[in-house]
Amino acid sequence: MTARTATPLPLEVRGVTVRFAGLTALDDVSFTVAPGSVHALIGPNGAGKSTCFNVLSGLYRPTAGAVRLGETDLTRLAPHKIAALGVARTFQNIVTTEGTVADNLMLGRHALSRAGYLASALHLPRAAREQREHLRRVHEIAELTGLAPHIDTPVAVLSYGDRKRVEFARALCLEPRVLLLDEPVAGMNAAERARTAEVVRDVRESLGLSVLLVEHDMGLVMRLADEVTVLDFGRAIAHGTPEEVRRDPEVLRAYLGTGPAGEEDAA
């Protein structure tokens, strides 16, 4: 019931193409999330970012290409099998259940349970021990993400930013190797965005996991990301460090409709 101790693994996207009824949502997209890194996937609205996340988490199957976690091919696996291998995600819209913060975080431990339904229903000793270990880990993750003061608070009464962090913490409760964060600071005020960025940084350093994030807040991307991949109309048009990407002519054209002459405005 402790954190994964396996060697971090690269998440590799190779030549992924997704078509819907003749519409190409992703076109031969390739990139690698290095172990222990924060990798940002950015681009204008409609660029294919959410489609890419849905492929990585098993909600969509690509028309062509492959996704691998280390040596394991994830391309045709069901979402629950991908999650069990160590890929967890959050969503743009908050997805929480009724109950307390602890209740929501315990849901994230469900895939790690080994005692079985019957043992739990009969309150057998091994099930009780496992439940205690899950709850201990839930409290540790709540502490790490700044939710400890709210552990017994109903999620419904929390602020918007705290509810977003509950979803983030619940994904961490799966003990992922790779965490997919879909617009983690969308809708937050400045203080909440700064706090969330701090939590993402602390989690990466404390747990050693890899993070792939989709985000429109370029300030946060520039502060957090080690590498950035830029999508536009389903194609990867740039890849590199934040500083390299922000000055790439193709990126400037995609975001600003301008070439190198617009660099000063984009800086």
- Which stretch of DSSP H or E encloses residue 81? helix 79-84
Predicted pLDDT of residue 187:
87
Predicted pLDDT of residue 175:
92
Please say if the pLDDT value at position 158 is more than 70: yes
Predicted pLDDT of residue 260:
46
pLDDT tens, position by position, 42-61: 999 899 999 999 999 999 99
Could you give the 3-state DSSP secondary structure of residue 234? Answer: coil
Predicted pLDDT of residue 112:
66
Give Cα 207 to chain centroid, integer Å: 14
For residue 35, count CB atoms less than 10 angstroms from its CB and return exposed for 0-12, middle for 13-18, buried for 19 or more. middle
Cα–Cα distance list, 147 to 117, 123, 165, 167, 207 (Å): 29, 29, 8, 11, 17
Query: Average of pLDDT values for 212-230?
Result: 93
Distance CA 110, CA 113 (A): 5
Please say if the pLDDT value at position 251 is more than 80: yes
Distance CA 57, CA 62 (A): 12
Spatial contact of 174 and 112, defined as CB atoms under 8 Å apart: yes
pLDDT tens, position by position, 184-212: 998 899 998 999 999 999 999 888 899 99
User: pLDDT confidence of 253, banded at 50, 70, 90?
Assistant: confident
Query: Average of pLDDT values for 2-15?
Result: 76
Q: Which domains does the chain have, with CATH numbers?
A: 11-99+170-266 (3.40.50.300)
Distance CA 61, CA 110 (A): 25
Predicted pLDDT of residue 54:
96
Please say if the pLDDT value at position 267 is more than 60: no
CA angle, 27 as apex, 37 and 69 as ends, to 5°? 35
Predicted pLDDT of residue 74:
97
Spatial contact of 259 and 266, defined as CB atoms under 8 Å apart: no
The CA radius of gyration of the chain, in Å to the nearest whole number, is 19
Predicted pLDDT of residue 125:
63
